[in-house]
Amino acid sequence: MKNTVLIPLLSCSVRAGFPSPADDYVEQRLNLHDYLVRRPAATFYMRAGADHPEARINKGDLLVVDRSLHPVPGRPVVAVAGGDLAIRLMPRHSSQALQVWGVVAFIIHPTAV
Amino acid sequence: MFALVDGNNFFASCEQVFNPSLRNRPFVVLSNNDGCIIARSAEAKKLGIPMGVPFYEWEKVLRVNGGEWRSGNYPLYGDFSARLVEVLRELLPAVEVYSIDESFADVSGLDLQQLQVLGQQVKEAARRWLELPVAIGIAPTKTLAKLANQRAKKHAAHNGVCVWESAEEALAEAGDLPINDLWGVGRRNAVRLNAEGIHTVADLAAASGPFVRQRLSIIGYRLWQELHGISCLPLSLVHDPRKHIISSRSFGRYVTELKELEEAVATYTERAVRKLNSQGLLAQTMSVMLRTNKYAKNQPQKHASTWIGLPVAMSDTATLISYAKQAIGQIYEEGYAYNKAGIALCELVSTSGYQQSLLVPSPDKPALNQAITAINQRYNGRTIYHAACGINPAWAMRSQTRSPNYTTKWSEIKKIQ
């Protein structure tokens, strides 16, 4: 649930005369947060401290980590390893046990640093 | 039927989410200035460390037993608290936030089986989505739900969720508990109740209504009713606007100079005004206090405070800082080693409802204050602050081992390899 609600204003003030034809089609402006974060309470941000080419993660990338998603084999997750959190690929076989902390839902890579 | 959900060892658990190395060992969280222990992991409790004790008394025990500690990180705990409430609101109807880690919810209309299932769902959601262990107590009244919650924590057989469908069931299981385990019964009241021959929860329940009404206050009677399954404390869903805002801290070391005290109250004023603005309020009076360390028996003691009636309701930081500095100058006396100062903004009114005085213009500068707020939000915390607060002041709180603000500062999010 969001703390603020953006309500679109009509595109013109109401006065006598013809209203704007766009008024019937006013929609909410696109918000990237809605796209990236499915469940805000369970979503955390982390920074990649190293390259993980197999996961297409570059050092410095912002990771959107969602604890409410189910891990997918072959896709990146945050795991508990060696007493800390680390980027890992979800194993394809259950024989390779991994303690999953959360799923890397999105990798955000800026084109200019 | 009420459910009470609360976090187990909440502050400690929050610290362990991003730091697996803090799990499965004695671990404590320290108060402001690293003075007292305010949270303990289960392993720390097993070492016999009590709540609220000075850290220095138990530091050696912790070291010897492979223990760890962190300075309190309230922004982190506050954020986890908000997340836990969001999770509860997703799963439960009508949630009342009671404290940073406890919330009540209305769970009427479900049978025993459904309540057990719901309890486990909430517990699992908190664990899965937040890595936070919680306990859930469900009973016909808030007081009994609190008791059920305690039982859920203490008795593994409940598996974290304790449901009592009736007051009789509650008393059958928890009747033997001492009276001070009851919500709302402190040490003083317990002594008074003991004098009346009431030592256990069952004793209080067994007493007659008229007896309780006569010998104990209306609060005692309400407690008695709640014990009998008569709900007297409805769910309160509306958050009361604050009657006053207090901002005060103990210093990291003793302060003797007026200039440093002025910096301190300026900082506290800034902090309080931020809270004021976030609630859309204005203050009409302000009070300022300072104090020496009352536990340092060999030092001269001083505890002074003063009130300022503001000429008009306001929230302007610069003006309030200058009043605070004037006030601290009035009560300051040389020759004392002060260890705490604070300010309070009182007689708060809403900006929307308030009638501006025609004679005294408001000093508020909304455009300036908005600009400062916007910059601080954009660039993290206190990018711009009033110079009166001092720059890297020596009297500021010690927080030697605070973990990063993983969820509230971009510059401090967890970096993983």
Strands B281-292 and B349-350: antiparallel
**How many degrees, rounded to 5, is the angle at CA B101 between CA B4 and CA B191?**
70
Please state, in angstroms and rounded to a whole number, the distance separating the CA atoms of residues B36 and B69: 11
Residue ranges of E strands in B272-413? 281-292, 303-314, 338-346, 349-350
Among the partner-chain residues B21, B129, B416, the one whose CB lies closest to the CB of A78 is: B416
Neighbours of B373 (CB within 10 A): 14
Q: Which residue of B has its CA nearest to A85?
A: B416
How many Å lie between the alpha carbon of B108 and the closest alpha carbon of chain A?
Answer: 24
- Interface contact A46, partner B, CB < 8 A: yes
Q: Which residues of A touch B83 (CB under 8 A)?
A: 40-42
Q: Measuring CA to CA, how many Å separate B133 from each of B7, B80, B175, B326, B414?
A: 6, 12, 27, 48, 21
Among the partner-chain residues A46, A67, A87, the one whose CB lies closest to the CB of B129 is: A67
Q: Which residue of A has its CA nearest to B23?
A: A83
Question: What helix, strand, coil percent values describe chain B, rounded to 5?
Answer: 45, 20, 35
What torsion do the CA atoms of B401, B407, B413, B417 make, to the nearest 10 degrees? 100
Please state, in angstroms and rounded to a whole number, the distance separating the CA atoms of residues B102 and B224: 23
Q: Which residues of B touch A (CB under 8 A)?
A: 18-21, 83-84, 86-87, 89-90, 128-131, 406-407, 410, 413-417
B366-378 helix and B258-278 helix, angle to the nearest 10 degrees: 90
Q: Which residues of A touch B407 (CB under 8 A)?
A: 44-45
How many Å lie between the alpha carbon of A49 and the closest alpha carbon of chain B?
Answer: 5
- Interface contact A100, partner B, CB < 8 A: no
Q: Which residues of B touch A78 (CB under 8 A)?
A: 416
Who's near B256: CB < 8 A, 6+ residues apart? Answer: B334, B335, B336, B337, B338
- In a structure prediction context, what are the per-residue pLDDT tens digits for chain B, which is 417 residues long? 999 999 999 999 999 999 999 999 999 999 877 678 999 999 999 999 999 888 999 999 999 999 999 998 988 999 999 999 999 999 998 899 888 899 999 999 999 999 999 999 999 999 999 999 999 999 999 999 999 999 999 999 999 999 999 999 999 999 999 988 888 777 777 888 888 888 999 999 999 888 888 877 777 788 899 999 999 888 876 555 567 899 988 888 889 999 999 999 999 999 999 888 888 888 988 999 999 887 777 888 888 888 888 888 888 888 899 999 988 988 899 889 998 999 999 888 877 666 666 566 677 777 777 787 777 766 655 667 777 777 666 666 666 688 999 999 999 999 999
pTM: 0.75
Tokens of A108: 């955000």
Neighbours of B175 (CB within 10 A): 16
Inter-chain CB pairs, A–B, below 8 Å: 62
